[in-house]
């Protein structure tokens, strides 16, 4: 009959077991080394994605990449569903992983680009020096590959400390996400954390983005012959010009709101006083109250007319909402900065002037989900012929996703 262990021996055995468990947890340097080893595979995936034209609405290319993404997610162990992104072309791809923890994560990015058919043939993927180039290489196929290979690293580590890990790839961000904004919003509300993988232009994560609205101005006048009877007309173009001058200062620099008139149309023939004139303005904002303020100010100002007997209407159409500054995003950025510091790198929290799908994921006034944008690879030249990513950022950014999930799942 074995002798019972003395209390000291039992305590020592327990300490040894605890030490072994602690030792089994990978260090930040371990995670970074694994990410560095994964970089070559990341670049192979990125090349295959960039080598297919997936401009928004390009059905053949979007279908080809969609099928590949479904295949990749299934190979990683996800349950995969696809949902048509009507009225857009292509599918929303949703992959779900189940774990053993208590926190829910969502990783999302788009796989469409702004480039039309034939662009890849003219500018194929290439690596020159410390950069990789190609259409959509940063925005946002670099983010697509980032998600896939972060998942691969977690799989290799046999990490399942999350409750649910959801991946969403959508096909229409570059045209406003008309067919994906609903599913983004619905899925986001079921998760504790949402990471969006747009590319930053430096080592940064984004805690706020702009919303995008459109203002539409319409003036109705009366037509007449411009040569023989101009006085009988009511010139809608002249009134439109007057209104645009009145409405040019709707923005508010202190709140970061901009309103710029960018489109105008009037008349059909040079010898006819125009009876109809229209204009549109681009509005960018981060303060959620600014939509109502701009709409009210515009309607009030437009009541002052220059041309009698004309009718002016101005309407505000809401588009992509902002990711407004909030405590949840700031807390995520702080955690990300701390984790990045453990591999001797600095990560800056920033606000972006343009809008992203993170705005659809954010729920104003709610602590859930906490949303963090620009978790993708560092790059620049977006939408241009010289779009590129910084190769030196690949492994650290892979590390960041893996480290964030492991940390927040605790």
State how far the Cα of 351 lies from the Cα of 333, in Å rounded to an integer: 11
Which residues on adjacent β-strands are paired with residue 261?
281
State how far the Cα of 356 lies from the Cα of 90, in Å rounded to an integer: 19
State how far the Cα of 396 lies from the Cα of 119, in Å rounded to an integer: 30
User: Could you tell me the CA-to-CA distances from 186 to 16, 79, 294, 360, 363 in Å, in that order?
Assistant: 46, 18, 28, 9, 11
DSSP secondary structure code for residue 127 in this structure: E
DSSP states of 202-262: SSEEEEEB-EEEEEEEEEE-B--BTTT-GGGSB-HHHHHHHHHHHTTT--BGGGTBEEEEE
Residue 32's contacts (CB-CB under 8 Å, 6 or more residues apart) are 343, 395, 396, 399
Kindly report whether the global pTM for this prediction surpasses the value 0.85: yes
Which residue in this structure is represented by tokens 């009988």?
A: 232
Q: Are 73 and 167 in contact (CB under 8 A)?
A: yes
Chain region(s) in the chain for CATH 3.30.70.360: 212-318
Residue-wise pLDDT tens digits, 359-403: 999 999 999 999 999 999 999 999 999 999 999 999 999 999 999
State how far the Cα of 348 lies from the Cα of 341, in Å rounded to an integer: 11
Residue-wise pLDDT tens digits, 158-217: 999 999 999 999 999 999 999 999 999 999 999 999 999 999 999 999 999 999 999 999
Helix H or strand E segment including 122: helix 119-122
**Annotated catalytic residue: which of 139, 173, 290, 373?**
173
The verdict on whether 292 is a catalytic residue reads: no
Per-residue pLDDT at 160: 98
Domain 212-318 in this protein, CATH class: alpha beta
Chain region(s) in the chain for CATH 3.40.630.10: 28-209+323-408
Q: How many CB atoms lie within 10 A of CB 114?
A: 17
State how far the Cα of 332 lies from the Cα of 205, in Å rounded to an integer: 9
28-209+323-408 to CATH, choices 3.40.630.30, 3.40.630.10, 3.30.70.1560, 3.30.2180.10: 3.40.630.10
The verdict on whether 290 is a catalytic residue reads: no
**Annotated catalytic residue: which of 38, 53, 104, 112?**
112
Q: What is the pLDDT along the chain (410 residues), one digit of tens a residue?
A: 444 444 544 544 444 444 444 447 899 999 999 999 999 999 999 999 999 999 999 999 999 999 999 999 999 999 999 999 999 999 999 999 999 999 999 999 999 999 999 999 999 999 999 999 999 999 999 999 999 999 999 999 999 999 999 999 999 999 999 999 999 999 999 999 999 999 999 999 999 999 999 999 999 999 999 999 999 999 999 999 999 999 999 999 999 999 999 999 999 999 999 999 999 999 999 999 999 999 999 999 999 999 999 999 999 999 999 999 999 999 999 999 999 999 999 999 999 988 999 999 999 999 999 999 999 999 999 999 999 999 999 999 999 999 999 999 99
State how far the Cα of 177 lies from the Cα of 83, in Å rounded to an integer: 14
């Amino acid at each position: 009959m074995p002798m019972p262990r003395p209390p000291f021996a039992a305590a020592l055995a327990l300490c040894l077991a605890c030490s072994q468990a602690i030792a089994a947890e990978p260090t930040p340097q371990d995670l970074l080394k694994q990410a560095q080893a994964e970089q070559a595979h990341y670049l192979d995936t990125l090349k295959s994605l960039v080598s297919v034209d997936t401009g928004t609405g390009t059905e053949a290319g979007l279908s080809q990449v969609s099928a590949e993404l479904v295949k990749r997610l299934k190979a990683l162990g996800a349950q995969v569903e696809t949902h048509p992104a009507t009225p857009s072309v292509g599918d929303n791809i949703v992959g779900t992983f189940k774990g053993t923890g208590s926190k829910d994560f969502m990783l999302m990015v788009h796989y469409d680009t702004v480039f039309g058919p034939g662009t890849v043939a003219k500018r194929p993927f290439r690596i020159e020096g410390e950069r990789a180039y190609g259409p959509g290489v940063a925005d946002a196929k670099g983010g697509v590959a980032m998600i896939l290979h972060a998942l691969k690293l977690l799989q290799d580590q046999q990490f399942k400390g999350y409750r649910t890990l959801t991946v969403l790839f959508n096909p229409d961000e570059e045209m406003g996400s008309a067919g994906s904004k609903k599913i983004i919003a619905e899925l986001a509300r079921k998760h504790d954390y949402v990471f969006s993988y747009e590319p930053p232009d430096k080592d940064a994560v984004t805690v706020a983005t702009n919303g995008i609205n459109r203002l539409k101005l319409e003036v109705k006048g009366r037509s007449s012959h411009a040569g023989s009877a101009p006085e009988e007309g009511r010139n809608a173009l002249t009134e439109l010009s007057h209104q645009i001058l009145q409405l040019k200062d709707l923005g508010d620099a202190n709140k970061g709101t901009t309103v710029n008139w960018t489109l105008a149309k009037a008349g059909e023939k040079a010898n006819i006083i125009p009876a109809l004139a229209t204009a549109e303005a681009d509005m960018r904002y981060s303060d959620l109250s600014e939509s109502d303020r701009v709409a009210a100010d515009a309607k009030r100002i437009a009541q002052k007319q220059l041309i009698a007997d004309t009718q002016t209407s101005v309407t505000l159409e809401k588009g992509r909402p902002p990711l407004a500054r909030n405590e949840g995003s700031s807390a995520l950025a702080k955690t990300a900065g701390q984790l990045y510091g453990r591999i001797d790198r600095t990560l800056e929290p920033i606000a972006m002037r343009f809008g992203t799908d993170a705005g659809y994921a954010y729920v104003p006034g709610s602590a859930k989900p906490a949303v963090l944008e620009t978790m993708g690879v560092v790059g620049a030249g977006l939408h241009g012929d010289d779009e590129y990513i910084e190769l030196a950022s690949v492994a650290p950014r892979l590390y960041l996703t893996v480290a964030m999930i492991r940390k927040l799942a605790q």
